[in-house]
Structure formats: C-alpha cells, structure tokens
Chains A and B, each alone.
Chain A
Amino acid sequence: EVQLLESGGGLVQPGESLRLSCAASGFTFSSYGMSWVRQAPGKGLEWVSIISGSGSTTYYADSVKGRFTISRDNSKNTLHLQMTSLRAEDTAVYYCAKKVIAASATHCFDLWGQGTLVTVSS
C-alpha cells in the first residue's frame, strides 16, 4: 500500500527540541522529493521544508530556517525533521508529503501522511 506514516509529535516546552519521522511505503522513496507542511489549529497550510530525492538539496521557510533540519534515509525509506529552539508559534499538525512527479520542478504533493501534532507550551 502506498502510504506515509508520521511519528514523533508531542508536547514540548519552548526552547526544546523534537524529531519527527515519516515512514514511506509502496513507492520508490529515493526517486521523490519530500516535504514537510504544517497546519496550526484552525489555520491554513504552511510549507516548512523540502528535500530532493538524493538528499543533496534542501529548502526551508524563513520561519524555520536555522532551527529546523530536514533529512532522509533512503535505505530505510524514512524522512526526518529535526526541530530545535521550538516556539509556541510552531504548534501545528505536521504533515509529510510526497512530490507528485519524481525529479521535477513540480513542487506539489500527491501523497500525504495523516499528520502528527506538535504542541509547544509551558
């Protein structure tokens, strides 16, 4: 079955760190760029970061640059998001998502996980 399954969310205090993971199955993981997109409670979607299939190229939203690091392990079909110096405004459901077309500039997403909730609060 083609799917993405996120894990690692939870409640943390401001300034703490958290690592999210996304396990992929049912497709050739290493061929596709992958992204993290978040959604604060009751709000719209916000793109966070993207990584190429090989892992050699990454981009970040300004709001997380320098605090979050995206990475992937193609041998384990897993995507990660290391989040440090967390702030209240990082509270959101975090989705991992697969690009619709492999190795292309079409940076939109046709497969999404169910999301994992990150809550940053003291």
Chain B
Amino acid sequence: EIVMTQSPATLSVSPGERATLSCRASQSVSSNLAWYQQKPGQAPRLLIYGASTRATGIPARFSGSGSGTEFTLTISSLQSEDFAVYCCQQYNNWPLTFGGGTEVEIK
C-alpha cells in the first residue's frame, strides 16, 4: 500500500501568516491527491482534489500543488477558522490511504 507521510506534525503560525504543509507519497500517485481539513468533533472537509483543484466553496487562500510523490498545501493568510488538522489522501491506488495529518496551531 502507498504510505502517505505528512510534515511537520505540528505547525505553529500566527493569524495572517502563510502556512505551508507537505505530503509525501511512498510511490507516485500522479495528481490523484486530495487535502482535507478536520476540526475537533467534526467530519473532514474536502479542500483540494486533483492535487490543485479547489473543492466547491473553498476560499482562494487555500491552494495545492505538486505531482508524483511530493505535494504541498498552502494557506496564504491564516484566518482564525483555519486552525485545524489537515490531512492528505491518495486515490491513485487501492487501498486509498491517508496521511497522519498536520495540526496547524495558533502561535
């Protein structure tokens, strides 16, 4: 199975600053990668799919890039509601696999 590794585990950022999150696949997943946001006690929310396509209703401050094995989620200017856990998911191969997540916390 493809292992998804996210870094860092925790990212401390001040409101208004840029956040850059990384996701690495153990083998190529082409552009078949999604990013989710999850807040405590809530279901995940799809942010990005196809590595760079924003899902419906997702603000433009969220952007995704990368292909193959290296991917990045960028939040251009963190808002208070953006402090959460972010995880990546590959859908190039079965089984579908998720990364362990990056927690974005208030600095």
Contact = CB atoms under 8 A, between A and B. Distances in A.
Interface residues on A, range: 20 to 34
A59 B93 CA distance: 11
A50 interface: yes
A25 B101 CA distance: 30
A89 to B, nearest CB: 16
A45 B55 contact: no
B49 interface: yes
B101 A62 contact: no
Given A44-B87, A45-B87, A109 B46 contact: yes
A95 B43 CA distance: 8
B28 interface: no
Interface of A: 35, 37, 44-47, 50, 59-62, 95, 100, 105-110, 112-115
Given A95-B44, A108-B34, A108-B46, 5 more contacts: A35-B96, A62-B1, A95-B43, A108-B91, A110-B55
